[in-house]
Structure 1
Amino acid sequence: MNIQHNPAVADLTTFPISTRWPAKHPDRIQLYSYPTPNGVKISIALEELGLPYEAHKVTLADADVKSPEFLSLNPNNKIPAIIDPDGPDGVPLPLFESGAILLYLADKTGKLIGKTARDRQIVTQWLMFQMGGVGPMFGQFGYFYAYGGKAIEDARPLERYRNEVRRLLAVLDGQLSERDWIAGDFSIADIAIAPWLRSLETGYQALDAIGWSDFPNVAAYRERFLARPAVQRGLNMPPRD
């Protein structure tokens, strides 16, 4: 999909979110996010693609994500979301859902999505693997292991999600046994998956709990990902402080 570009600067003041998070650079992609595993997917992609953007910190507090201004952009009250002032047909495009945004940015630039139509489907397959499996299951495991759910005496929820995390890690470890990146070349699939691998340590302090050493290919993959300069920049956008 080729997206046409319009050099005219869009009027973003027509978007209600601009009343709370005004654009200083309305010619750039506006990113409304927080540096969680889902949030940094988009800042990393923007850094990797070299697209100019302006990052607005939207915390996970109800005062931000459930504010009328943010809900006007994402009625599902979750970060990240974007407005591209240079959207299809020259019309600004608001988007939410990290997977949808990754696909849009890849299609907009023709990068990080493979070189052929076949490549694109393989990349999309692994992106959906993250969206439907890694993200939800890792998140549930983190809740029961490190956050509010750890107070629940019944051990079955934690064990269920721990086993599912290990199963998903085994799938990834097998896929990475003969390649550096999950779908061949570095792609949006890696940008979707690797931040969740990082969260097992930085968010949940759970590497020992899930038997991280059992997945050497995944461990090496995470380190390759984190060594990329664009990834390092994107991990801290927007800054927490």
Structure 2
Amino acid sequence: MIMMMLIARQRGTMMARHDNQRDERTAMELYTAGTGNGQRAAIAVNECGVACTMHVLNLAQGDQRKPDYLKINPTARIPTLIDPDGPGGQKLTLIQSWAILYYLAEKTGKLIPSDPAARARTYQWLGEAASDMAPTAQNIFFLGNRMPEKVPQSAIKFYEDRLVTQFRAADDQLARTPYLTGSEISIADLGLYPIYAGRKALIDGAGLSHVTAWGDRVGARPGVQKGMKLES
């Protein structure tokens, strides 16, 4: 009996070691940084619950232009996701935070509604956030912080007003449902959240109370909090 127990324990240890080795081989890698795009990808990793090693780059010091990183992503931008167990069991390297968000949701079967109408609304809000709201927020940042010459405040205010108008549509939707596509959180909410968080004072100051309440709900999620801190 004792011998059988020892053999069983040894087998269990060997199986656990094998599983750990397999996890190490199949763990993803995310190269990211403290920007809205970098946070979006990190949120996706955490909310989808995938095993992933996080590499945080220092953009101010030029980590994204170092030879080792350029071999991974020649565009010298973040984020970059490496999935050693991609489609067909082949390694996949993927850039663009919106693509990473969608890929991880599809791979894990999480955060995409099964209802066709809700799924269509999810894609609608993803498009709205990626093609309209994110560029507007980026214009505010670049005009206010990165232009070589001083930009008139009226130009910055133009984009601030535009962003508030865009979020007003979200506020109208969130007056009817707790999340953008209904009663359950989706990748649409996770994709939009870093934009909101980056301009929280502006948006909350515009009196968009439903967006503010939504931001509190989404921001309270552990996966979102870890993603915003670039943790995994």
Normalising TM by the smaller chain, what interval?
0.7 to 0.9
Q: Any unmatched runs of 5+ in structure 1?
A: 1-6, 11-23, 202-206
Separation of aligned partners in 1, 2:204 and 2:52: 38
List 4+ stretches of structure 1 deviating above 4 A: none
State the match for 2:156 in structure 1.
158
Go from structure 1 to structure 2 and tell me whether the alpha carbon gap of 1:52 and 1:214 turns closer, same or farther (over 3 Å shift). Answer: same
Determine if contact 2:41/2:98 at 8 Å carries over to the other structure.
no
The answer as to 2:213 corresponding to 1:215 is no
CA distance in 1, matches of 2:59, 2:116: 37
Residue 29 of structure 2: aligned partner: 30
8 Å contact 1:55–1:237 — kept in the other structure? Answer: yes
Q: How far apart are 1:70 and its partner, in Å? A: 2.2
Instruction: Please say which of residues 218-227 and 149-158 is displaced more in the overlay.
Output: 149-158
Amino acid at match of 1:126: W
Task: Tell me which structure has the larger Cα radius of gyration.
Answer: 2
Cα distance in 2 for partners of 1:190, 1:153 equals: 32
> Given that residues 144 and 150 in structure 1 are in contact (C-alpha distance below 8 angstroms), is that contact kept between their aligned partners in structure 2?
no
Q: Can you list the C-alpha shifts for 1:7-39, whole angstroms capped at 9, x where unaligned? A: 9x89xxxxxxxxxxxxx9442110000122111
TM, length-normalised to structure 2: 0.82
For 1:199, give the aligned amino acid.
Answer: G
Task: Give the match for residue 190 of structure 1.
Answer: 189
Once residues 112 and 141 of structure 1 are traced to their aligned partners in structure 2, the CA distance between those partners, rounded to angstroms, is 30
Deviations 1:77-104 (A, max 9, x none): 2211100011000001000001111111
**Structure 2 match to 1:78:** 77
Paired letter, 1:47: N
Q: Aligned residue for 2:51?
A: 52
TM-score scaled to structure 1, two decimals? 0.79
1:59 Cα shift?
2.0
Aligned length: 212
**Shift, 1:71, TM fit:** 2.6
Listed as ranges, the gaps of 5+ residues in structure 2 are 1-18
Tell me, in whole angstroms, the C-alpha distance in 1 between the residues paired with 2:100 and 2:124: 15
Q: Is the 8 A contact 1:57 1:238 kept in 2?
A: no
Q: Secondary structure at the match of 1:214?
A: coil
8 Å CA contact 2:122, 2:186 repeated in 1: yes
Shift of 1:151: 6.1
Q: 1:104 to 1:153 in 2, by over 3 A?
A: closer
Match of 2:170 in 1: 172
Residue 178 of structure 1 aligns to a residue whose secondary structure is: coil
Partner of 2:13: none
Corresponding residue SS for 1:130: helix
Which residue does the alignment assign to 1:18?
A: none
Q: Name the counterpart of 1:204.
A: none
- Checking the alignment, whether the CA contact within 8 Å between 1:194 and 1:225 is kept in structure 2 is yes
SS at match of 1:223: helix
Q: Percent of pairs identical after alignment?
A: 31
What displacement does 1:217 show?
Answer: 0.8
- What is the correspondence of 1:90-239 to structure 2 with a 5 Å cutoff? 90-145=89-144, 147-149=145-147, 152-184=150-182, 185-201=184-200, 207=201, 212-238=205-231
CA deviation after TM superposition for structure 1 residue 75, in Å: 2.9
Letter in 2 for 1:159: K
Indicate if the aligned counterparts of 1:32 and 1:80 stay in contact, CA closer than 8 A. yes
1:34-75 deviation line (CA, Å, top 9, x unaligned): 122111112112211111110011222363112233233323
CA RMSD of aligned residues (A): 2.4
Residues 44, 100 of structure 2: 8 Å contact kept: no
